[in-house]
């Protein structure tokens, strides 16, 4: 089977391209992004489509996932040459051309999923932060590039927000990840609160697991606060979009707190009204600090 055929078969076993973009529009993109100009929204959706393709391949594709990820990287090279064959990669080509995107952040996302095939557990908080440099932070850097607002200082703030969002997602998906044989919550933190492997899937969540999740969410709140100066540096649609991402993180933290950090009884997701409230709050604060 050729590299292109591996990509196509892996993708078809996970979802159709149209399903990915529909999911982005309906669920994963914050309310703020729906008001962006069409071309900008198209390019951000293309970034999301690539990230979703890579993550779903690493999580759900049948067969040799490392080979499938290698094939995606080869298809990425073709996209940068304007010759992609996969629909998701073809959708990425206009964004690459319009914003002079570099391949390194895309390669990092692939590498994060390669690591998932080889490493089942995270040992320390620093190891989790290092993983986020591959799995989350490249997305923020690409978003800044789309908005034309990338500077070294802004990248640092963006990394803090993206890392926070990734840790929050790991907290929301503890049981699902554990069932896949992966534990992203640091082993040192599980030991700190005497949380065993059985706690990761038991419902309702044990006091030990709730304590670990509350601990990681407090860290995530601090990271969101560390990255908030980015909003005051951005303008127009860029500020609105990035504030929307950060608002989603804060609203997710609120939802987890309301659920008393029980992440095994049901999937805890933020309310739309909560996202909107945080979006307005963050925008007001950014206007005052700008």
CA dihedral 36, 37, 39, 41 (to 10 degrees): 10
The mean pLDDT value for 4-17 works out to: 53
Burial 60-71 (b: 16+ CB within 10 A, else e): ebeeebeebbbb
CA 243, CA 175: separation in Å to the nearest integer?
29
For residues 50 and 29, the answer to whether their CB atoms sit within 8 Å is no
> Would you place residue 31 in the very low, low, confident or very high pLDDT band (cuts 50, 70, 90)?
very low
Q: Give pLDDT, residue 32.
A: 46
Mean pLDDT of the chain: 90
Tell me what percent of the residues of the chain surpass a pLDDT of 70.
88
The string of DSSP codes covering 156-175 is: HHHHHHHHHHHHHHHHHTHH
> Would you place residue 289 in the very low, low, confident or very high pLDDT band (cuts 50, 70, 90)?
confident
> Would you place residue 272 in the very low, low, confident or very high pLDDT band (cuts 50, 70, 90)?
confident
Instruction: List helix spans (H) across the chain.
Output: 3-14, 17-23, 38-60, 65-80, 87-99, 104-118, 125-135, 137-147, 152-172, 174-179, 187-192, 207-227, 229-233, 236-258, 272-289
Q: Give pLDDT, residue 103.
A: 97
Q: Which of 15-29, 37-51, 56-70, 249-263 has the highest mean pLDDT?
A: 249-263
Cis peptide before 60 (omega within 30 of 0): no
For 267: left if phi > 0, alpha if psi spans -120 to 50, otherwise beta; the answer is beta
Residues in the chain: 290
- 285-to-33, 54, 155, 234 alpha-carbon distances in Å: 19, 35, 20, 13
For residues 32 and 242, the answer to whether their CB atoms sit within 8 Å is no
Alpha-carbon 22 to chain mean position: 17
**183 forms bridges with which residues in the sheet?**
121
> Would you place residue 288 in the very low, low, confident or very high pLDDT band (cuts 50, 70, 90)?
confident
pLDDT of residue 290 exceeding 80: no
For 214-252, the pLDDT digits (tens) are 999 999 999 999 999 999 999 999 999 999 999 999 999
Tell me what percent of the residues of the chain surpass a pLDDT of 90.
76
For 186, the token pair is 């640091």
CB atoms closer than 10 angstroms to residue 117:
12
CA 186, CA 170: separation in Å to the nearest integer?
11
For 53, the token pair is 């393709």
Query: What does residue 114 show for φ and ψ, rounded to 5 degrees?
Result: -65, -45
For 23, the token pair is 């999911």
CA 161, CA 196: separation in Å to the nearest integer?
29
> Would you place residue 21 in the very low, low, confident or very high pLDDT band (cuts 50, 70, 90)?
low
The mean pLDDT value for 91-107 works out to: 96
Catalogue all structural domains in the chain, each as residue range(s) with its CATH number.
1-117 (1.10.600.10), 119-290 (1.10.600.10)
The mean pLDDT value for 168-191 works out to: 96
For 54, the token pair is 């890579």
- 240-to-147, 247, 248 alpha-carbon distances in Å: 11, 10, 12
């Amino acid at each position: 089977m050729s590299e292109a055929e591996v990509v196509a078969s892996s993708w078809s076993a996970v979802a159709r391209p149209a399903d990915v973009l529909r999911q982005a529009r309906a669920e994963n993109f914050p309310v703020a992004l729906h008001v962006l100009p069409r071309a900008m929204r198209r390019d951000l959706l293309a970034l999301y489509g690539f990230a979703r393709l890579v993550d779903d391949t690493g999580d759900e594709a049948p067969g040799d996932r490392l080979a499938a990820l290698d094939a995606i990287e080869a298809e990425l090279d073709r996209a940068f040459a304007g010759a992609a064959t996969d629909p998701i990669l073809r959708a990425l080509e206009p964004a690459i051309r319009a914003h002079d995107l570099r391949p390194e952040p895309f390669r990092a996302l692939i590498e994060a999923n390669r690591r998932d095939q080889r490493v089942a557990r995270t040992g320390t908080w620093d190891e989790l932060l290092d993983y986020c440099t591959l799995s989350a932070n490249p997305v923020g850097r690409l978003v800044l590039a789309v908005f034309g607002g990338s500077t070294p200082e802004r990248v640092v703030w963006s990394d803090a927000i993206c890392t926070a969002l990734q840790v929050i997602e790991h907290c929301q998906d503890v049981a699902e990840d554990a069932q896949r044989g992966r534990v992203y919550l640091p082993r040192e933190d599980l030991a700190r609160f005497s949380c065993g492997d059985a706690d990761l899937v038991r419902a309702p969540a044990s006091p030990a697991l709730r304590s670990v999740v509350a601990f990681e969410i407090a860290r995530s709140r601090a990271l969101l606060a560390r990255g908030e100066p980015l909003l005051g540096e951005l303008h127009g649609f860029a500020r609105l979009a990035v504030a929307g991402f950060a608002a989603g993180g804060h609203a997710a933290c609120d939802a987890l707190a309301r659920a008393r950090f029980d992440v095994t009884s049901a999937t805890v997701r933020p309310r739309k009204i909560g996202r909107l409230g945080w979006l307005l709050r963050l925008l007001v604060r950014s206007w005052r600090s700008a």
